[in-house]
Amino acid sequence: MKSGFVTLIGRPNVGKSTLVNQLVGQKVVIVSDRPQTTRAAIRGVRTTEASQIVFVDTPGLHRPRTLLGERTNERARATLREVDLVCVVVEANAKYGPGDRFVASLAREVDTPAILVVNKTDAARSDAVFDHLASAAAELGEFEAYIPLSALTGDGVPALVEELEARLDEGPQYFPDGMVTDQPETFLAAELVREQLLQMAREELPHSIAVTVEEMDDDPARPARDDLLRLAVTIRVERDSQKGIVIGRGGEVLKTACTNARRELEALLGTRIHMETRVRVDRDWQRRPQALDRLGFDGS
């Protein structure tokens, strides 16, 4: 069996998370058109008879304006030396810019082989895709391979998988059959709730929302239900006005977001979910080291 770890890096919104989901074959990473939606390095596992590839989705590399941004950048850069291959993802429907050149330069700083992935071919003319491939070496430097594809439609994704398998060495199967991510249930739940709130609140909550989830202890007074997973969901915002946005009139926004997230999580886990939610104001949490450490953004 061929096996190994592959990280995807790029500037925000180039489609890394959509590509990981397409490669794995199901949703393991939340997706939003909002930049910097991904905050952690998330692993998705693709297993076939021939190979097991562990894809590491990383936060979009950007010019940070908060301590949170600095720490997510650090997480993305740290993966470059921890994997077997690097995929630098750019957009086919946008010219190469300073952000793309910066990301490519980071990939060249390490000895890890790098492949250039030109994503969003479905949104670009064929001549624009050709121009991207023809000018890549001059604009971004040399890569081991150049793969155009559409993470949205899946067109070109098999060619990327074939290229990755050819470059990986024989190795062990790191995860059992059927396992598509190593993220715990509580993390998946938190991310799905955050994804729903980002979709519903749109511009009102750019990066001011954090979601944490803990599994609830069994209450002896409550009837035991083996098929029911009870989760305590805490949603943090930075200002009182944002708390009202998250809750919505009559609690409608919070109720709808949690209901949608719960249904999606039940489909993923194959079990019934009960969520108890609360919304807290944690002022300027993105800029306070202790708050970030508490939420798991410790920079390590």
pLDDT class of 41 with cuts at 50, 70, 90: low
Please give the Cα distance from 118 to 136 (Å, whole number): 10
Q: Which two tokens stand for residue 100?
A: 């793309």
Instruction: Please determine, for residue 39, whether its predicted confidence score (pLDDT) is greater than 60.
Output: no
Please give the Cα distance from 129 to 118 (Å, whole number): 8
**According to the model, what pLDDT value does residue 35 have?**
46
Task: Give the structural domain span for 93.
Answer: 2-167
Looking at the fold, whether 159 and 200 belong to one and the same domain comes out as: no
Give tens-digit pLDDT for 190-227: 888 888 888 877 656 656 788 888 887 655 555 555 67
The 3-state DSSP class for residue 67 equals: helix
Give tens-digit pLDDT for 223-254: 555 678 899 999 988 888 888 888 888 988 89
pTM reported for the whole predicted model: 0.74
Using alpha carbons, list the distances in angstroms from residue 166 to 50, 89, 145, 154, 202.
11, 19, 11, 20, 41
Query: Would you list the DSSP string of 136-198?
Result: HHHHH---SEEEE--TTT-TTHHHHHHHHHHHSPB----S-TT--B---HHHHHHHHHHHHHH
Q: Which two tokens stand for residue 264?
A: 């999606």
Instruction: Please determine, for residue 292, whether its predicted confidence score (pLDDT) is greater than 80.
Output: no
* Number of domains observed in the structure of the chain: 2
Q: Which two tokens stand for residue 24?
A: 């794995």
**According to the model, what pLDDT value does residue 111 have?**
87
Q: Return the minimum-mean-pLDDT range out of 62-71, 248-257, 273-282.
A: 62-71
Looking at the fold, whether 120 and 251 belong to one and the same domain comes out as: no
**Distance, CA of 150 to chain centre:** 17
Give tens-digit pLDDT for 112-146: 999 999 999 999 999 999 999 999 999 999 999 99
pLDDT class of 32 with cuts at 50, 70, 90: low
Q: Answer whether residue 126 is part of any domain.
A: yes
- Which residue's structure tokens are 């300073």? 98
Q: Answer whether residue 299 is part of any domain.
A: no
Nearest Cα neighbor of 55 from 37, 42, 39, 38 is 42
Average pLDDT over the chain, rounded to whole? 84
Q: Answer whether residue 180 is part of any domain.
A: no
